[in-house]
Amino acid sequence: MIAQLSTARINHELVVTWEPLPKDFQLEDDPVDNDGQPLLAGALRESLELNGFIQPQMLILSNFGLCATIDEKIVVKAPDWLYVAAANPIESTRRSYTPYTEGDLPTLVMEFISDVDGSEYSVKRTFPPGKWFFYEQILRVPIYAIFEPEGGLLEFYQLQNGRYELVLPDADGRQWIAEMNLFLGTWRGSKEGRSGYWLRWWDESGTILPWAVEQIEQERQRAEQLVAYLRSQGIDPDNLPSSND
């Protein structure tokens, strides 16, 4: 599959092809910028999985290579988090993902800001292209989110007329993602030893999708409420009749 790209700022027409990554291609093995990034990415996936959102055909990955070939040169970018609604099944371990050839275009890519080089905003068009240019002009991902964990700022961009446009949050500070039927927003609290801002999901009714530790706490509270109710009715919860009585 071939797409041709031209803009006023490019002095030649780029030829984009969607070739599977060659088996002998050496992917970069860059470490994450800090220990907070895996926690943020894992927490986003965890609540989706626990609440039954994830289906077998979906791809929800972090620090994973998205590929395209531009003017016969392979370009790979690894967003901090990505969501693909439907990817083609494969028999072996997936080591990268080429849209169109291997399945749907990603609906959403996220980058977590961890340094000051501004690579998340790079519109560099020459090889290798910047992240912003790659997501916007090459892949044309519908939604690009940039999250600054220290200050809790979530920038949410949607592709409109071929360009990313900033979308303001709703009154609750959340962004509606129709393709996922979920809201995305920020939340401040603690998990796994990290205190600060997190990205969280809410369903269409505004109910937050809980993490495992929150589900456990909810079950504990429900059990305590049941015990209190039984005692208020003169029933000893420690001496309930068995089904065989």
What would the pLDDT profile of 34-60 be if each residue is shown by its tens digit?
A: 678 999 999 999 999 999 999 999 999
CATH of the domain at 64: 3.90.1570
Q: What is the pLDDT of residues 91-108, one digit of tens each?
A: 888 989 999 999 999 999
The pLDDT of residue 65 is 94
Distance CA 22, CA 103 (A): 17
Helix axes 36-50, 212-232, angle to 10 degrees: 50
Residue 234 placed within a domain: no
Largest Cα–Cα distance of the chain, in whole Å? 86
- Asked, for residue 239, whether it belongs to a domain, the answer is no
- CA 55, 1, 14, 24 torsion-angle sign: positive
Is residue 144 in some structural domain?
yes
Residue 221 is predicted with a pLDDT of 83
**238 within a domain of the structure (yes/no):** no
- The CA distance from 110 to 198, in Å, is 13
If DSSP codes are grouped into helix, strand and coil, which group holds residue 212?
Answer: helix
pLDDT for 165-204, tens place per residue? 999 999 999 999 999 999 999 999 999 999 999 999 999 9
In a domain, 223, yes or no: no
| Three-class SS state of 222 | helix
pLDDT of residue 213: 86
Dist. CA 180–CA 28, nearest whole Å: 30
Q: Does a structural domain hold residue 244?
A: no
Report if residue 181 sits inside a domain.
yes
Q: Is residue 235 part of a domain?
A: no
Which position has the higher pLDDT, 135 or 10?
A: 135
Q: How far apart are CA 78 and CA 32, in angstroms?
A: 11
* pLDDT at residue 245 is higher than 60: no
Give residue 193's domain range. 2-208
Residue 243: band (very low, low, confident or very high) from pLDDT cuts 50, 70, 90: low
* Residues ≥6 apart with Cβ < 8 Å to 2: 15, 16, 17, 18
pLDDT band at residue 30 using 50, 70 and 90 as cut-offs: low
Tally of structural domains, the chain? 1
Whole-model pTM: value is 0.86
